[in-house]
Amino acid sequence: MTDDVAVLGVGLHPWGKWGRGFVEYGAVAARAALADAGLDWRQVGSIVGADTVRGGYPGYVAGATFAKALGWQGARVTSVYAACASGAQAIGAARAQILSGLADTVLVVGADAAPKGFFRPAGGSRPDDPDWLRFRVLGATNPTYFGLYARRRMALHGDTAVDFAQVKVKNSAMGALNPYARYRKRVTAEEVAGSPTVADPLRLLDICATSDGGAALVLSSTDFARRHGRAEAVRIRAVSTVTPRYPNTVLDLPDIATDSAVAVAPAAESFRASIARAAYEEAGVGPEDLSLAEVYDLSTALELQWYEDLGLCAEGEAAKLLREGATAPGGRIPVNASGGLASFGEAVPAQAIAQVCELTWQLRGSAGDRQIPGARVGIATNQGLFGHGSAVLAVR
């Protein structure tokens, strides 16, 4: 298809708490991706950096920061920020440059050095900033609203703490097989239940950590891939970065109110469901075609929500899908074969890129002990605050 771009190379810096700067993590991932692609940095026509707000000015201009770290060579540069969707928007920008003919090859890089504990709002007093307000007025830290989402699923669909724990059990088993994961220990349901309560009903092991890490991709036109002997490279067929529709009648923090639906009927689907639908429509596939999915499991309950938003099952049936083993390796549609955020922790600008690295390894058939047999189509999805959709669909 003419709208495909090839994934020539992928690279990660292991996740953890390393005590170093984000630039080092991103440069390591970038060099690994270039080596995987068989390209020299000087052959790259453009670099797109996913920004971090925790690295000072260099974090706000991540594209140029990584270009300098790799060595100035005149490449076109772009920097993007979209909270947790930053990596997907960086991929989308790179894809647009390739399809428009501005560059044959683009390096996409994201990295973060995260704080200890949970993320905090930027400093200062900003009463017109919903993110600042949800911390200062509601006291709604990230784990707080993860807990609210979990309570909503329990109230609407009958999910239980046992179901949430089983998500962690599944993901930790896969993370134990991933050399880039921060947490490489299998966890039992009893260990989840015995961990401290953080935001009822969620316990410590239900919630993802904050981590350091880096991820990178080398993307190219399909013509370039063929000329360089990579005609069978994994291809990105769709990138969805949609926004919500008015009125949005489901509370979704950091916004602390919903829109009125008095004059306009609500959309037929939720915002997160629209992210996946846009990717499916662009790629010409459906959820029934997927071999695997990588989803943003900020909490165990949120992974279950993604099952429904991706169309893997009907609304309210996510826990049933999990209990049947459909989302585990060997099941109908494995989810988070990488181990997910449960095993990595959250390195905001890197994570969506890392998801595509996992899809690429799986679709290449090179994921080792994590390999999903016969993987041909995969989707990676998450959501950035303030209405940033994020989904990338890849095929082999």
Task: State the average pLDDT for the chain.
Answer: 95
Encoding tokens for residue 280?
């499916």
Same structural domain, 391 and 265: yes
Question: Where is pLDDT greater, at 336 or 55?
Answer: 336
Same structural domain, 311 and 228: no
Same structural domain, 161 and 245: yes
Same structural domain, 93 and 9: yes
Same structural domain, 23 and 144: no
Q: Is a pLDDT exceeding 90 seen at residue 253?
A: no
| pLDDT at residue number 1 | 47
Same structural domain, 228 and 269: no
Same structural domain, 180 and 248: yes
Compute how many other C-beta atoms are within 10 angstroms of the C-beta atom of residue 365. 13
Question: Where is pLDDT greater, at 10 or 140?
Answer: 10
Q: Is a pLDDT exceeding 70 seen at residue 2?
A: no
Asked if the bond preceding 373 is cis, omega within 30° of 0, the reply is no
Exposure letters 306-345 (e unless 16+ CB within 10 A, then b): bbbbbbbbeeeebbbbbeeebbbbebebbbbbbbbbbbbb
Residue 219 located in a structural domain: yes
CA distance 147 to 141: 10
Please report, for the domain that includes residue 322, its CATH number.
Answer: 3.40.47.10
> Based on the structure, what is the number of domains in the chain?
2
| pLDDT at residue number 156 | 97
Query: What's the domain range around 374?
Result: 130-205+238-395
Residue 124 located in a structural domain: no
Bridge partner residues of 217 (DSSP): 10, 108
Q: Is a pLDDT exceeding 50 seen at residue 86?
A: yes
User: Among 29-33, 42-46, 180-184, 266-270, whose mean pLDDT is lowest?
Assistant: 266-270
pTM, to two decimals? 0.97
Taking residues 111-131, what's their average pLDDT? 86
Same structural domain, 99 and 31: yes
Contact 377, 141 (CB under 8 A): no
Domain boundary among the residues 220, 236, 252 is at 236
For the chain, how far is it from start to end, CA to CA, in angstroms? Answer: 12
Residue 125 located in a structural domain: no
pLDDT (tens digit per residue) in 338-357? 999 999 999 999 999 999 99
Closest CA to 322 of 205, 139, 157, 190: 157
pLDDT (tens digit per residue) in 199-226? 999 999 999 999 999 999 999 999 999 9
Same structural domain, 268 and 391: yes
Closest CA to 212 of 21, 11, 10: 21
CA distance 187 to 319: 19
| pLDDT at residue number 367 | 98
Residue 121 located in a structural domain: no
Q: Is a pLDDT exceeding 70 seen at residue 359?
A: yes
Taking residues 281-288, what's their average pLDDT? 98
| Residues whose CB is less than 8 angstroms from the CB of residue 115 and which lie 6 or more positions away in sequence, other chains included | 54, 210
Contact 362, 371 (CB under 8 A): yes
- Separation of CA 35 from chain center: 23
Q: Is a pLDDT exceeding 50 seen at residue 310?
A: yes
Q: pLDDT-derived band of residue 252, with 50, 70 and 90 as boundaries? A: confident
Residue 69 located in a structural domain: yes
- Percentage, residues of the chain above pLDDT 70: 99
Closest CA to 21 of 49, 58, 50: 58
- Percentage, residues of the chain above pLDDT 90: 87
Residue 123 located in a structural domain: no
pLDDT (tens digit per residue) in 165-206? 999 999 999 999 999 999 999 999 999 999 999 999 999 999
| pLDDT at residue number 122 | 76
Taking residues 26-48, what's their average pLDDT? 98
- Give 188-196's long-range contacts (Cβ < 8 A, gap of 24+): 189/162, 189/165, 192/164, 192/165, 192/168, 193/161, 193/165
CA distance 154 to 303: 14
Q: Residue 78 phi/psi, 5° resolution?
A: -140, 140
Listed in order, strand segments (DSSP E) in the chain are 5-16, 46-50, 76-80, 105-112, 197-199, 202-203, 212-221, 235-240, 292-295, 377-384, 388-395
CA distance 7 to 192: 37
Q: What is the CA radius of gyration of the chain?
A: 20
pLDDT (tens digit per residue) in 225-248? 999 999 999 999 999 999 999 998
| pLDDT at residue number 254 | 82
Same structural domain, 145 and 221: no
Residue 122 located in a structural domain: no
Same structural domain, 273 and 384: yes
Question: Where is pLDDT greater, at 316 or 115?
Answer: 316
The β-bridge relationship of strands 76-80 and 46-50 is parallel
Taking residues 78-96, what's their average pLDDT? 97
Q: What is the DSSP string of 96-161?
A: HHHHTTS-SEEEEEEEE-PPSSS--PPSS--TT-HHHHHHHTT---HHHHHHHHHHHHHHHH---H
Same structural domain, 270 and 187: yes
CA distance 357 to 347: 15
Residue 300 located in a structural domain: yes
